[in-house]
Amino acid sequence: MPPSSTADSAPIRPGHGADRSSRGSGSTRGRAPRRVLALALLGAAFPLALAGCDGAASADRGATREAYSNVPLQRQLQDMIDALAEADAAAGVSFDSWVDGVRAAFARADRSSPDLGRAIIALLDERDDLDPGIRSRLIEAAARSMAKDEEARGELGLALTERIENYSSALGERNKACELLGAYCPQTAIAVLGPLLLPDRRGTTLPDSEFILAGYLTAAKTLGTDTHDILCAIAVEARMDGRTRTIALRELAPQATPRSIAIFENVMVESTGDAYLRRVAVQSYIAAVPKERALEHLTRTRDREADMNMQGYLEDVLATLRGER
């Protein structure tokens, strides 16, 4: 009877079956030590590789700064204008692209010498054909470039002050100058912007009050200057625009003085027609006084209020204070 054709009786060819099994078992035992050795060698080499990469990256950054400082000033200036123009062009496609482009341009200013800032200021004084948005961002680039050097920072303060007080400059440019003066030249900002917030100066052509106040507050926080009195003067000045008065009311809320509390009480019943300003006064009042006092005063105010919308707002506020909502 011929042998049955089964797997058990099939002949084992060289290189298959038992040989494959023996190689597999042998290689499994031999592979583990080799893998451990390889990982050990890699672990020893990896920190050295990282150190080399960090050193190379640091050297690259230093070389980049040095190389950029050696680029001719006129080329740096044109590169800055081109970068900002490209960022504005990308804004129509993606806001994130615009932000990234502006950040990249400002990064160039951060690593440049103050001479780039001086060149930007001179360019803006000579040319009036640049887009207003680009002009404002060029001023910020100049500030970033010049703020690193004390002498240049003094020049920057003068240049920004001239723009704030120069009626021929575009309003957006003057507004930006107020913010930058507060951020980079705080002492100059207190001296220049403070008087511009007083009522007797508001009849003149000035940057928007909210930007003057924003720059002033930034400088005051840097220097630790008390802002209570000037904020009170702004909050009660009916000729001041509502946005600026709103900022003043919010800034006064943590400063719970008898004067500021009286201002909140007066503004919340003003008949100027600025409903939002009145609501901010209510919110600031609640933040400044105990809940019992707020409930009592706001109840009286609601009962005397003629405007139905404001009356409804006060009722909602009272319900919240009573814990009903």
pLDDT band at 93 (very low <50, low <70, confident <90, very high): confident
User: How wide is the angle at C-alpha 176 spanned by C-alphas 174 and 181, nearest 5°?
Assistant: 95
Mean pLDDT of 194-202: 75
- Residue 92 pLDDT > 90: no
Mean pLDDT of 138-148: 94
Q: Tell which wins on pLDDT, 87 or 167.
A: 87
- Residue 94 pLDDT > 90: no
Average pLDDT, the chain: 80
pLDDT tens digits for 204-244?
678 889 999 999 999 999 999 999 999 999 999 888 889 99
pLDDT band at 167 (very low <50, low <70, confident <90, very high): confident
Q: Tell which wins on pLDDT, 33 or 278.
A: 278
Nearest C-alpha neighbor of 121 from the set 148, 106, 139: 139
pLDDT band at 55 (very low <50, low <70, confident <90, very high): very low
- The interaxial angle of helices 73-91 and 114-126, nearest 10 deg, is 70
Question: What CA–CA distance (Å, rounded) separates 105 from 82?
Answer: 9
Residue 13's region, left for phi above 0, alpha for psi from -120 to 50, else beta, is beta
pLDDT band at 201 (very low <50, low <70, confident <90, very high): low
Predicted local confidence at residue 62, as pLDDT: 46
Q: Tell which wins on pLDDT, 162 or 167.
A: 162
pLDDT tens digits for 262-302?
999 999 998 878 999 999 999 999 999 999 999 999 999 99
- With a pLDDT cut of 90, the percent of the chain lying above it is 53
* Main-chain phi, psi angles of 111, to 5 degrees: -100, 10
Q: Tell which wins on pLDDT, 56 or 106.
A: 106
Question: Exposed (0-12), middle (13-18) or buried (19+): which is 79, by Cβ within 10 Å?
Answer: middle
Q: Tell which wins on pLDDT, 93 or 182.
A: 182
Predicted local confidence at residue 140, as pLDDT: 95
Mean pLDDT of 113-121: 94
pLDDT tens digits for 39-50?
333 333 333 333
